[in-house]
Amino acid sequence: MKNILLLIILSASIQCYAQKLTSYKAINGLTYKIGDTVKLGRGSAPNGSFNYMQMGGFGAFLAHKQQRSDQLNIDKSFSNTATVIRKMKSAQINGVQKVTFVVDGNGPVNFNLAIDDAIQTCEVIPCKGQAAAPVANTVTSVADEIAKLKKLLDSGTLTQAEYDAQKKKLLGL
């Protein structure tokens, strides 16, 4: 009972100091809004897990109760994926303003993403100092795209009709 009361008081005091945000301009120059997708890079921990994206909510409470804080970090299977921002919070922690995004996890679990720290370590891309790539730089040649389509056709992912339609589209026919 004493632990539950302490948790309620701590939760209430944290919420008093945290501000809810609807948008945030991060250190990589991008402005994120609720509902936006965040592109994940690679975890910065030696084992490839994410240091700045951790389990939130009830899962974090259970890991804390079992004194298994190493279980809070999200594992490397989330590398090079994306997640959606559900909430944004800003709070003063040890005299430093920190912004945390609550993002989609697996199923009912949400993750807490310390956005600027994650950008600094390239857990979120584009990283700090790395501009978002202009669309022109990300476009591959038509031949490269057709080669990708051919691989998909050969693997059985695309049917011949789908391959032909996409190829015509790429060639502007």
Any long-range contacts for 162-170 (C-beta under 8 Å, 24+ apart)?
Answer: 170/142, 170/145, 170/146
Alpha-carbon distance 85 to 16, whole Å?
A: 22
Which domain does 162 fall in, by range? 140-171
With respect to residue 12, please indicate whether it lies within any of the assigned structural domains.
no
152 and 90 within one domain: no
* Residue 4 within a domain: no
Of 39, 50, 52, 51, which is closest to residue 133 (Cα–Cα)? Answer: 39
CA distance 54 to 17: 21
Domain co-membership, 43 together with 78: yes
Same structural domain for residues 33 and 110?
yes
Query: Does 116 lie in the same domain as 147?
Result: no
Task: Please indicate, yes or no, if residue 11 is contained in any of the structural domains.
Answer: no
- Indicate the number of domains in the chain: 2
Q: What is the pLDDT along the chain (173 residues), one digit of tens a residue?
A: 444 444 444 444 444 456 888 999 999 999 999 999 999 999 999 999 998 988 876 544 444 444 455 567 888 888 998 889 999 999 888 888 899 999 987 667 788 999 999 999 999 999 876 655 444 444 467 778 888 888 888 888 888 998 888 888 777 77
Residues 77 and 154 in one domain: no
Q: Dihedral of the CA atoms 89, 92, 96, 97 (nearest 10)?
A: 30
116 & 166 share domain: no
Residue 82 lies in a domain: yes
Cα–Cα distance, 133 to 135 (Å, whole number): 6
Q: CA–CA separation, 123 vs 54, rounded Å?
A: 12
Asked whether residue 133 is assigned to any structural domain, the reply reads no
Task: Kindly state whether residue 135 falls inside one of the protein's structural domains.
Answer: no
* Residue 88 and residue 157 in one domain: no
Is residue 89 classed as helix, strand or coil in its secondary structure? strand
What are the backbone dihedrals phi and psi of residue 103, each rounded to the nearest 5 degrees, phi first? -120, 160
